[in-house]
Amino acid sequence: MLRLADLTTLRLGGPTARMQSASSLSELVAAVRAADAASERVLLLGGGSNLVVADEGWPGVTVLIRGPSVSVRRDGPAVLLRVSAGTDWDTLVAQAADEGWAGIESLSGIPGLTGATPVQNVGAYGQHVSQTITDVTVWDRAAGRIAVLSAADCGFGYRTSAFKHSDRYVVLEVGFRLSASGRSGPIRYAELTRVLGAPDAVPLVDVRAAVLELRRGKGMVLDPADHDTWSVGSFFTNPILSAAEVAAFDTLAGSAYPSWPDPLGRKLSAAWLIEQAGFGKGYGNGPVRVSTKHTLALTNRGKAHTSDLLALAREIRDGVRARFGVQLRAEPRLVECEL
């Protein structure tokens, strides 16, 4: 039986009707075209680090995105990369840090493949990929052709993009523009400044090492022996409130709370909300529990089902809403299931 649990970082998910591997861009396009022509549903699967798959599984074809490829071109002080969707993301970040290409070093330790990064507009520790992405090459399933979308056409926002809520585009390749400076920009993120201080520039390998240290401390670096890493990372996104919603929240919060300005209003800490609503580290007594290292991670303790994960996620979501009137939203893609 082809179980998706064997291909996801949560180790959850039922069977798939059919599985096919695509080790090149042409094979990926061909697999999707053939499935579309046969009216067969398609699930694209890279590293499996951002998927919650139902216990019943996937009724169509699962296309495994494979085939790492990185091309490099210098443009004065910049380095232009073209990276296939099947390239392991952290391997790319490690290469950039070692080569002195600045712009993605704070995104170290994030599991998954490069093709997924524009979908989520992956971000951490003060960086997000939309800051360095120049364009994304896609297979446009609606038009039946390959297209190149500029960064402006990608609809990047906080943990979202034009790709996230639509099956129209299949990411084939991502273009990045990095700086050949060999050092980071000013360190502004609070946790990083505690480790590195806040100078104007830090060697990229030092930033990477510090980020990996921080992520390991939160169970956010994959380790098969550590159940705290059997997760999708942060399960909920940080909610963003309008000015009117902030005023109402202030009344319920009753004390100082972590928040940050956002173009849409004010961003709250989902981790703080979860903890204050009574769901601390290690919460739960079933096969799925809150991580003992980070309250945003819901973890499979070894014998869980997706239904167990969803039950705990609903309990936390509803508890935060009851306590603070704030709706938490899931960050991973939910496949054949919902909260």
Q: Check whether 288 has a pLDDT greater than 70.
A: yes
- Mean pLDDT to the nearest integer, 96-100: 98
Query: Measured between alpha carbons, how far is 307 from 337 in angstroms, rounded to an integer?
Result: 9
Positive/negative CA dihedral, 164, 167, 171, 177: negative
CB 175 within 8 A of CB 130: no
What are the tens digits of pLDDT across the range 32-51? 999 999 999 999 999 999 99
| Residue of 33, 41, 159, 323 marked active site | 159
Percent of the chain with pLDDT over 70: 100
> How buried is 110 (Cβ within 10 angstroms: 0-12 exposed, 13-18 middle, 19+ buried)?
buried
- Mean pLDDT to the nearest integer, 314-327: 97
Per the listing, tokens 């996620």 go with 313
- Mean pLDDT to the nearest integer, 161-166: 93
- pLDDT range class, residue 131, cuts 50, 70, 90: very high
- Assigned token pair, 332: 């991973």
| Residue of 84, 108, 317, 331 marked active site | 331
Domain positions in the chain are 4-65, 70-217, 227-335
| Residue of 234, 259, 291, 317 marked active site | 234
Question: What's the mean per-residue pLDDT of the chain?
Answer: 96
Query: What is the topology classification, in CATH, of domain 227-335?
Result: 3.90.78
Helix, strand, coil percentages (3-state) for the chain, rounded to 5, are: 30, 30, 40
Query: Measured between alpha carbons, how far is 8 from 50 in angstroms, rounded to an integer?
Result: 8
Query: Measured between alpha carbons, how far is 265 from 244 in angstroms, rounded to an integer?
Result: 9
Residue 331 annotated among the catalytic residues of the structure: yes
Q: Check whether 1 has a pLDDT greater than 80.
A: no
Residue 159 annotated among the catalytic residues of the structure: yes
CATH class of residue range 70-217? alpha beta
- pLDDT range class, residue 256, cuts 50, 70, 90: confident
Residue 145 annotated among the catalytic residues of the structure: no
Cα Rg, the chain, nearest whole Å: 20
- Mean pLDDT to the nearest integer, 286-315: 97
Query: What is the topology classification, in CATH, of domain 4-65?
Result: 3.30.43
Q: Check whether 247 has a pLDDT greater than 80.
A: yes
